[in-house]
Structure 1
Amino acid sequence: MNTVRSRLRWVSISQIVQLVLGLLIVLWAGSYWCAHLGQTHLVVYGAIIHLYGIGLLSVSVVQLVRLAGIDYNAPVLIVQHELQSLRKLRTMCERTLLFLGFIVWIPFAFIALRAIGLDVWLSSPATLWWNLGVSVIIGALVIWLSYRFNHKFEHDSAGAALRAAQAELDDFKE
Structure 2
Amino acid sequence: MDIAMEPDDIKSAWQALDRRLQLDNELRLRDLRGRELDRARSSLRPLFWGQVAQILFAIPFILLAALLWMSHPQHASTIAAGVLVHAYGVLTVIAAGVVLGQIGGIDYSAPVMDIQKKLLHARTLYIRSGMVAGLPWWFLWIAILQVLAGFGDVDLMQKAPSLLWIGYGIGIAGLLASWWFHRWARRPERAEFGRRMDDSLTGGSLRRALAQVEELQRFERD
**Smaller-chain TM-score bracket:** 0.7 to 0.9
User: Counterpart of 2:198?
Assistant: 154
The 8 Å contact of residues 54 and 93 in structure 2, kept in 1 or not, is answered as yes
Summarize deviations over 1:81-123 as a string: whole Å, max 9, x none.
1111111222233334432121111122344567799863232
Q: How many residue pairs are counted as aligned between the two chains?
A: 174
With over 3 angstroms needed to count, the CA separation of the structure-2 counterparts of 1:97 and 1:50, relative to structure 1, is same
What SS class does the counterpart of residue 108 from structure 2 fall into?
coil
User: Counterpart of 1:30?
Assistant: 66
Structure 1, 142-151 or 17-26: larger mean CA deviation: 142-151
Provide the identity percentage.
23
CA distance in 2, matches of 1:110, 1:156: 34
The 8 Å contact of residues 30 and 47 in structure 1, kept in 2 or not, is answered as no
- What is the identity, as a one-letter code, of the residue corresponding to 1:125? P
The 8 Å contact of residues 33 and 45 in structure 1, kept in 2 or not, is answered as no
The 8 Å contact of residues 33 and 47 in structure 1, kept in 2 or not, is answered as no
- What is the identity, as a one-letter code, of the residue corresponding to 1:88? T
The 8 Å contact of residues 92 and 129 in structure 2, kept in 1 or not, is answered as no
Q: CA deviation at 1:6?
A: 0.9
User: Counterpart of 2:165?
Assistant: 129
| Greater C-alpha Rg | 2
What SS class does the counterpart of residue 30 from structure 1 fall into?
helix
The 8 Å contact of residues 73 and 153 in structure 2, kept in 1 or not, is answered as no
Report matched runs for 1:44-83 at 5 Å. Answer: 44-83=80-119
User: Counterpart of 1:165?
Assistant: 209
User: Counterpart of 2:34?
Assistant: none
Q: CA deviation at 1:37?
A: 2.3
CA distance in 1, matches of 2:110, 2:63: 39
The TM-score normalised by the length of structure 2 is 0.69
Q: CA deviation at 1:31?
A: 1.8
User: Counterpart of 2:29?
Assistant: none
What SS class does the counterpart of residue 25 from structure 1 fall into?
helix
CA distance in 1, matches of 2:110, 2:82: 45
What SS class does the counterpart of residue 44 from structure 2 fall into?
helix
Gaps of 5+ in 1: none
User: Counterpart of 1:5?
Assistant: 41
Report matched runs for 1:93-104 at 5 Å. Answer: 93-104=129-140
- What is the identity, as a one-letter code, of the residue corresponding to 2:212? E
CA distance in 1, matches of 2:160, 2:202: 41
CA distance in 1, matches of 2:96, 2:181: 24
The 8 Å contact of residues 70 and 79 in structure 1, kept in 2 or not, is answered as yes
Aligned-pair Cα RMSD in Å: 2.4
Structure 1, 57-66 or 146-155: larger mean CA deviation: 146-155
The 8 Å contact of residues 146 and 153 in structure 1, kept in 2 or not, is answered as no
User: Counterpart of 2:121?
Assistant: 85
User: Counterpart of 2:20?
Assistant: none
